[in-house]
Chains A and B, each alone.
Chain A
């Protein structure tokens, strides 16, 4: 079968009412599961897999991928409206999306998120389709040393997010990294900082920390200040215009969307790095490249559309190693890999050779599911904006209960609720005292990866691993440049870096 035949066959296999209805069902389930904190893409796929027993591959994947693709957008909606990120991959959307809601621009933010997600998803899917025949040598050229430098590059974002105080940003990042070290060390197997408490052997749950650091402080603050999230400006009178503004924002910033989508696809293709990293790195990149640094942290649409494009593009990128080599890039991809096998497919070079039509159908499913999710999201944007006009006193207990149940749902441990509440209090004081919570989260995500890739690189290539790996050396130069560039730019402009700490 030629590539063109496979492409046409992959597309036509989806053009029937049953497949499209299943995909729509998957998208709706994904949006709801994404909206509810604690139920990320992994849980969604795990729950939906039993329903695909006996299905044709195109039907099963339409259902599963439809749900998986739309989970992230669903999570962004709750992040934008209530500062409660539905999944860990939506953290960065809260940084600008929630301030937009506070300004009465929730529907604009949702439109930015939806369209950014759509564009990113399109890009990721196209890259997946085009890259499969040629990706092998590229992936094989990148090893632990390069991954280490990429994670280090991610950590440099901290310097960009701590506009107020670099010292406090580094302190927050350091403490975040220390929290990420709690649990079994992947290299030596030592139980670090668990103090003999078995529940800590698995580490501290990231979802609980995110819910605590962002959702609970914003609810405490909202109740303290009185009024509603949108402070009376989210009454819906200008909803249509702001939604169209959101769509326009994405097209006006197409270059940023494209760059963030490239970033997301690359990060997605790296096994084990994940969507949270893509989301946060895209935010840092968008912020560092902005011509209007003062508006960041106060509701800049670029801070919504950039990370959304990256997170959505990551799905296409993550499917590259999963399909091409049978190496899952994330937990969700591991479950999807299981579903491939369940449906009688063997991911790897054989799949690209013998089942190319199925591979192309995956590309089209991502494209179509993104369109469906965006249309549903845009349709819901105006009614959703009205939720931000609910008085804080009435909103507070509902959000707190959802946070508690969401924190519990991930691992079904009561300890995670305690962690979420503890981080809620810590997050409140961090916000009051201008400690960057974003730096904390970035370091918590990237800390263990940096440590693991450092040890593996050291073991494989010795202490001079940077000199032995030219790509890693190039990335190291990029890291140094990223660290130095904001100060050079600030010096040139003759002023200090501005913007708000998040």
Chain B
């Protein structure tokens, strides 16, 4: 995915998020809604402006002239977008992008694990598997690192600070 497309999706997300908050603000008392509504309006204005600069050529030309300072970076953005697009075609960059996707998948998996089985179960499993499969650490060292790392975190947060860690949706009821 090119940087430009990614930028457009991100801008769309910001637009929808801000619009939702703007509409929600309408139901609050005047003093509670006035500042959020002003902020929402500014953000929506900026998003639309950004989308126009990113996608409409005449706006890019207008921006290049530097008549309005807010457009001053359009040239740089366009250059970067092109550079980034070319860079993405590079094999090394593609491999990096793949590793980024893999790390995000691991994060999502770890979050799902914590949601279902709790922090105390998901963390050692995540640590051991990640070290073993991604960091290519030998099984014995992965196990030792997991035991030491998680043991230390458990000792500080649970035993010293008496923190009751989240037990998860599946295992939580067993501890209640």
Contacts and interface: CB of A to CB of B under 8 A. Distances in A.
Interface of A: 36, 39, 47, 164-168, 170-171, 174-175, 177-178, 181, 185, 187-188, 190, 192-193, 195, 216, 219-221, 223-226, 391, 393-394, 396-398, 400-402, 404-405, 408-409, 412, 414, 417-418, 421, 424-425, 428-429, 432-435, 447, 450-451, 454-455, 487, 496
21 contacts: A164-B76, A167-B53, A168-B50, A174-B40, A175-B43, A178-B17, A178-B21, A181-B36, A188-B32, A193-B21, A193-B24, A220-B100, A220-B103, A396-B103, A396-B134, A404-B110, A405-B163, A412-B164, A417-B119, A421-B107, A425-B107
Interface of B: 3, 6-7, 10, 14, 17-18, 21, 24-25, 28-29, 31-32, 35-36, 39-40, 42-43, 46-47, 49-50, 53, 69-70, 72-73, 76-77, 80, 96-97, 99-100, 102-104, 107, 110-111, 114-115, 119, 123, 126-127, 130-131, 134-137, 145, 149-150, 153, 156-157, 161, 163-166
Contact of B39 (A177, A408, A435): A177
A408 B132 CA distance: 26
A169 B47 CA distance: 11
Given A414-B166, A433-B6, A47 B43 contact: no
A106 B163 CA distance: 31
B58 to A, nearest CB: 17
Given A190-B32, A223-B103, A405 B165 contact: yes
Given A178-B39, A405-B163, 17 more contacts: A165-B73, A167-B70, A170-B42, A171-B14, A174-B42, A178-B40, A190-B28, A193-B21, A220-B103, A223-B102, A393-B136, A394-B135, A397-B126, A401-B149, A404-B123, A447-B39, A496-B72
A451 B36 CA distance: 9
Contacts of A414: 114-115, 166
A455 B33 CA distance: 12
Contacts of B163: 405, 408-409, 412
Contacts of B107: 216, 220, 400, 421, 424-425
B36 A401 contact: no
A178 B43 contact: yes
Scoring B3, B46, B49 by chain A CB atoms within 10 A of each residue's CB, the highest score goes to: B46
Nearest to B107: A421
A18 B175 CA distance: 43
B135 A39 contact: no
A193 B17 CA distance: 11
Given A171-B43, A496-B72, A417 B31 contact: no
Contact of A451 (B6, B25, B35): B35
B71 to A, nearest CB: 8
A160 B70 CA distance: 14
B36 A418 contact: no
A192 B31 CA distance: 12
Given A224-B96, A429-B10, A394 B72 contact: no
B31 A455 contact: yes
A487 B69 contact: yes
A117 B79 CA distance: 41
Nearest to B101: A224
Which 4 pairs show the lowest CB-CB distances between chains A and B? Answer: A393-B135, A174-B43, A224-B100, A397-B130
